Amino acid sequence: MIPGMLMGGTGFILALIFLTIVAPIWIVAHYLTRWRSSRRLSGADEKTLGDLAQAARSMEARIAALEKILDAEAPGWRSRSGG
């Protein structure tokens, strides 16, 4: 036998332990980490979401201004439109 090599039975047992215990835990931990990191928003997604929120606030202010004008110029417009 070559010096430095494990005995046949011991090497087999170590390989078996690695394949049945260590490797599955390692694989599961790896993919859990990947899954958790993919659930987060990217920087571009966060910027787009911020832009959309700003556009919604701007539209809300415009709608409020238009409703104010309509209330002043056509007081019964809400009941006529069904809203």
pLDDT at 1: 45
pLDDT at 55: 97
pLDDT at 10: 85
Domain of residue 53, residue span: 42-72
In the chain, the N- to C-terminal Cα span, in Å, equals 91
Report DSSP letters for 5-20, one per residue. PPPHHHHHHHHHHIII
* Total of domains in the chain: 1
How confident is the chain (83 residues) per 10-residue block, as mean pLDDT? 59 89 94 85 90 97 95 88 59
Is residue 82 included in any domain, yes or no? no
Is residue 66 included in any domain, yes or no? yes
Is residue 13 included in any domain, yes or no? no
pLDDT at 43: 87
Is residue 81 included in any domain, yes or no? no
Is residue 18 included in any domain, yes or no? no
pTM: 0.49
Q: How far is CA 8 from CA 1, 15, 21, 66, in A?
A: 10, 11, 20, 85
